[in-house]
Amino acid sequence: MTGGDPFGPEYAADPYPAFARLRATTPVFWSGRLRRFVVTRYEDVVAVLHDTGTFSSAVVPQVLPRDRDALAGFTDWSARWLFFLDPPEHTARRAPLTRALSARAVAGLAARVDAVARALVAALPAAGFDVVADVAHPLAAQVIADLLCAPGPETDGFLARARILEHAAANARDPAARRAGLAAMVAATSALRVASAPSAPVPAALHAAWGADRDLIGAHSLMLLFAGVETTQNLIANAVRALLRQPGLWAALRRDRTLLAGAVQEVARYDPPVLGVLRRAGHDVTVAGTRIPAGAEVVAMVGAANRDPARFRDPDTLDVRRAPNPHLSFGLGPHYCPGAALTRLTTYAALDALLSAFPALTLRDTVLSWRDHDPTVHGPTSLPVYA
């Protein structure tokens, strides 16, 4: 830790040593930098996520004054996102989206997702490429674009904007890049709410949840972009990196593709793209002996819980045969990620296509740079490989 701050510069590349220290010494930690309590043990993270009566999701990140112009037209944008609603409103608004993204509904998208992944991989140069820019990002963005609107020229504009958003997220400290990204996304989703066919399952689900309120439908399209693109892209990149770092594993997966679904689950546990989720204490509460006052914000650090030796045997070992694997990377309880089935399918498709095309895929020996704009987001900004 840097001067007692577990969220120092080394954290973005490898948060797990800091998590191990926190679990062992201060499992409920007040971070002066985050101005939040940080909960790291599995048992406590589960308790926080289940106790929706005490821990509210109404933790709305304030729109920064610098972002207000870019987000004009979406002033209520984040306050009404599913992430930040509590029951009973949450229950009713979420139901149509859960149905539209159910495992069964998503299975119908498998052929299309697979075809997109294979087309991207077929176009890769034989010498080497960047897993993030050339596979993970375009695939993740295309999958969300397909959900939100019909394929066509509109989708192309959408993808360009998703790249701007990605750039904005990676450069969150560069106010101009961030503003440009947010403004472009608002423009894209404003166009979508007019253009989308409400008969497509996800736009129809947003219509069912929010009635005719076009601003809210646009805001929720934006939410799906935030929730689905960077996360899936980081899972694919973290997965390729983790699988290639373990000698012999890539070859083993090539030989036996029945291991791949378990590998996707295990990488989600081992190196998740979302390290923590946010809650607010509705009243004074004590967790693992530490008093959390009413109104305080709490990060339930699922990435730390996933490596808790009290819950997982050899938690720092990537074991693609691990079963059961009750990791918390998609959350738990009423806010459990409705996109989990889709993102598993997308990550599977990316890995399957890469395994088929590149028997000797190898990580290039470069120092990676990491997304460090938010201590709950985890993934490299690029991942160069030799093919």
Binding footprint of ligand HEM on the chain (CB under 6 A): 57, 82-83, 94, 101, 224, 227-228, 231-232, 235, 272-274, 277, 329-331, 335, 337-339, 342-343
Q: What's the closest the beta carbon of residue 280 comes to ligand HEM, in angstroms?
A: 11
**Min CB(101)–ligand HEM separation in Å:** 6
User: Among residues 101 and 124, whose Cβ is nearest to ligand HEM?
Assistant: 101
Cα(144)–Cα(149) distance, integer angstroms: 9
Shortest separation between residue 9's beta carbon and ligand HEM, angstroms: 24
Distance CA 368, CA 384 (A): 9
Residue in this structure with the two tokens 């140069």, named with its chain if needed: 125
- Return the number of the residue (201 or 272) whose C-beta is nearest ligand HEM: 272
When the beta carbons of 38 and 123 are compared against ligand HEM, the nearer one is: 38
Question: Closer to ligand HEM at the Cβ: 60 or 180?
Answer: 60
Nearer to ligand HEM (CB atom), residue 180 or residue 200: 200
Q: Which is nearer to ligand HEM, 261 or 387 (CB)?
A: 261
**Token digits of residue 117:** 């992944």
Mapped onto helix, strand or coil, the DSSP state of residue 73 is coil
DSSP string, 207-230: HHHHTT-HHHHHHHHHHHHHHHHH
Q: How far is the CB of 204 from ligand HEM (least distance, A)?
A: 14
Residue nearer to ligand HEM on the CB measure, 83 or 158: 83
Residues 6+ apart with CB under 8 A from 371: 12, 169, 170, 230, 234, 377, 378, 379, 380, 381
Please enumerate in sequence order all residues whose Cβ is within 8 A of that of 179, keeping only pairs 6 or more positions apart, or say none: 66, 67, 69, 70, 168
Min dist. Cβ of residue 97 to ligand HEM (A): 6
- For ligand HEM, give the closer residue by CB, 203 or 331: 331
* Shortest reach from residue 158's CB to ligand HEM, in Å: 14
Measure the N-to-C terminal CA separation of the chain; round to a whole number of Å: 36
Phi and psi, residue 37, nearest 5°: -80, 145
Instruction: Determine the residue with CB nearest ligand HEM.
Output: 339
Tell me the pairing of strands 285-287 and 28-31: unpaired
Two tokens, residue 379: 């993934």
Distance CA 19, CA 78 (A): 29
Q: How far is the CB of 116 from ligand HEM (least distance, A)?
A: 14
What SS3 state is found at 151? Answer: coil
Query: Which residue number, 5 or 51, has a Cβ lying nearer to ligand HEM?
Result: 51
With a CB cutoff of 8 Å and minimum separation 6, the contacts of 132 are 233, 237, 379, 380, 381, 382, 383
Nearest-approach distance from CB 300 to ligand HEM, in angstroms? 8
Cβ of residue 43: shortest distance to ligand HEM, in angstroms? 17
Q: Smallest distance from the beta carbon of 55 to ligand HEM, in angstroms?
A: 10
Chain centroid offset of residue 387 CA = 27
**DSSP code per residue over 174-219:** -HHHHHHHHHHHHHHHHHHHHHS-TTSHHHHHHHHHHTT-HHHHHH
Give the Cα separation of 315 and 23 in Å (integer).
13
| Beta carbon nearer to ligand HEM, 142 or 231 | 231
